[in-house]
Amino acid sequence: MGAVNKAAVGALEVITGATLFAPTGGESAVAAAAGELTGVAAPLGSGTGEVCSIFPRPGGPADEIRVVWRLSNTPPKEDTALKFTRLPMGEKAGAAHDSAFVTFPCSPKDEPLASPDHVSVWAQSRALPTEAEGDVRPLKNAYATVAHSFALALAKELDCDDNAGLKPKPSLIPES
């Protein structure tokens, strides 16, 4: 899993209980997603695709984790579902006990006056939503860390201007 940083690998351990992750397929999942996203952006201006799926060990605390991208030609709306804690990353970010997202604008470096596309990267459990019990902060932080890591890797792969403003580390302190 060359696309994610060490913090994201640790976060995946929190979510899945697994300590070993291996890529499936030859091409980088992020490079493949960037290619697909670029192909959709030009003609359609919107779309959805998968970056990768992460499968934990059988009997672990979580089922399959999916990382997906969503593309829009309009900025994100300010309404965020109640289950998400807003985080100060990108244009909009939120985390819950079973998913997180980071949305960022992407303007190509070679077209500084072009209006940006808006890319959201989601890390989410495939399980049916359940009510959270106990302190869910570690899970929220873990999902946010995974979403941020893939968003940053995708912004770099897409060659977004200034890495789309995403910092090297996730901002996990909620917005007020």
DSSP letter (8 states) at residue 153:
H
What distances in angstroms separate CA 167 from CA 123, 146, 163, one per listed residue? 18, 14, 8
Q: Can you give the pLDDT at residue 88?
A: 95
Q: What is the pLDDT of residues 1-47, one digit of tens each?
A: 445 678 888 888 888 777 666 555 545 778 888 877 776 655 556 77
More confident residue, 166 or 35: 166
Distance CA 102, CA 83 (A): 15
Q: What is the pLDDT of residues 63-93, one digit of tens each?
A: 778 899 998 888 787 666 668 999 999 999 9
Distance CA 173, CA 136 (A): 14
pTM reported for the whole predicted model = 0.84
- Locate tokens 């789309």: which residue? 164
DSSP letter (8 states) at residue 127:
S
Are residues 102 and 156 in contact, defined by beta-carbon separation less than 8 angstroms? no
